[in-house]
Amino acid sequence: MTSARLSVVHPVPDDASPQHTEPAPARLRGQHLRLGYGDRVICPQLDVRIPDGSFTVIVGPNGCGKSTLLRSLCRLITPQAGQVYLDGKQIRDYPARSVAQQLGLLPQSATAPDGISVLDLVSRGRYPHQSLLRQWSPQDEAAVQAAMQATGVADLAGRAVDELSGGQRQRVWVAMALAQETPLLLLDEPTTYLDIAHQIELLELFRHLNRHTGRTLIAVLHDLNHACRYATHLIAMREGRIVAEGAPGDVVTADMVEQVFGLPCLVMADPISHTPMVIPRGKVHLA
């Protein structure tokens, strides 16, 4: 695959043409990032901006570096070159706790300690707001209750997390991330291992949070149709590069999907949400 970006959709930063508009403000951005593990470089050169107040979804084929990008944005991996900026300052210059007050993460793999209760786990999200002597406050109490209400796990407060179903457990982890009350929230494949109903339920919750609490959400999703339906800003990656980005309605075309995923498809308007809907052609049906 060529590394050329789709010129139609991708804004060229160096372009000084008069019609070039100011980009939306972005508290979180990465500049000239080279990401990888040891000798293995996954993203050779990458610039990314997360528009404030957006529900940004990163999509792309397996191994394209979308999780790596997400992990670098929340400091879980250090870029080999380039910098991630939060509010204009290099993110690695902040104390860990200050970052945790601004930026939450729902990781792909998290272990609930044996027998921990839902209330205890959600309460842990308040850690960045606490200190050695002030380990609890009325604000903590309010944030934990609000997070459990929003995710519908308030009734489960006394239950042990390891007794819950997969969908309930995922909502508990979301509640913990919400209790952290960060303006930016990163979600690493939040819907994996959930059935379709629970996936939609969770995505609806994210959209609600994005619209009604003003949080900026950044998610890695596998399902392109879910991404089209819920994202306000889509970033499509392939082989460690951003191939297209923008509103799903502007970006998602049959060409783009074929270029990113190598999947021949048809793009139609979703009859309910009127966002693009990707329908794979498949070989069998090509008469």
What does the binding site for another protein look like in residue numbers (CB under 8 A)? 37-38, 74-76, 95-101, 103-105, 107-113, 115-117, 119-120, 123-125, 127-128, 132-138, 157-158, 177, 180
Supply the minimum distance, in Å, between the C-beta of residue 192 and another protein. 15
Closest CA to 240 of 77, 54, 40, 21: 40
Nearer to another protein by C-beta: 15 or 114? 114
Nearer to another protein by C-beta: 32 or 92? 92
Nearer to another protein by C-beta: 97 or 211? 97
Q: How far is residue 37's CA from residue 118's CA, in Å, rounded to a whole number? A: 35
Q: How far is residue 266's CA from residue 277's CA, in Å, rounded to a whole number? A: 8
Convert 46-66 to b/e letters by CB count within 10 Å (16 or more is b). bebbbbebbbbbbbbeeebbb
DSSP 8-state class, residue 232:
S
Closest CA to 233 of 56, 14, 88, 111: 56
Nearer to another protein by C-beta: 83 or 108? 108
What DSSP string describes 110-125? --PPTT-BHHHHHHHT
Supply the minimum distance, in Å, between the C-beta of residue 72 and another protein. 12
Supply the minimum distance, in Å, between the C-beta of residue 81 and another protein. 19
Nearer to another protein by C-beta: 36 or 248? 36
Supply the minimum distance, in Å, between the C-beta of residue 223 and another protein. 22
Nearer to another protein by C-beta: 16 or 132? 132
Supply the minimum distance, in Å, between the C-beta of residue 180 and another protein. 7
Closest CA to 54 of 27, 73, 84, 92: 27
Alpha-carbon dihedral angle through residues 31, 37, 40, 44, given to the nearest 10 degrees:
0
Supply the minimum distance, in Å, between the C-beta of residue 45 and another protein. 23
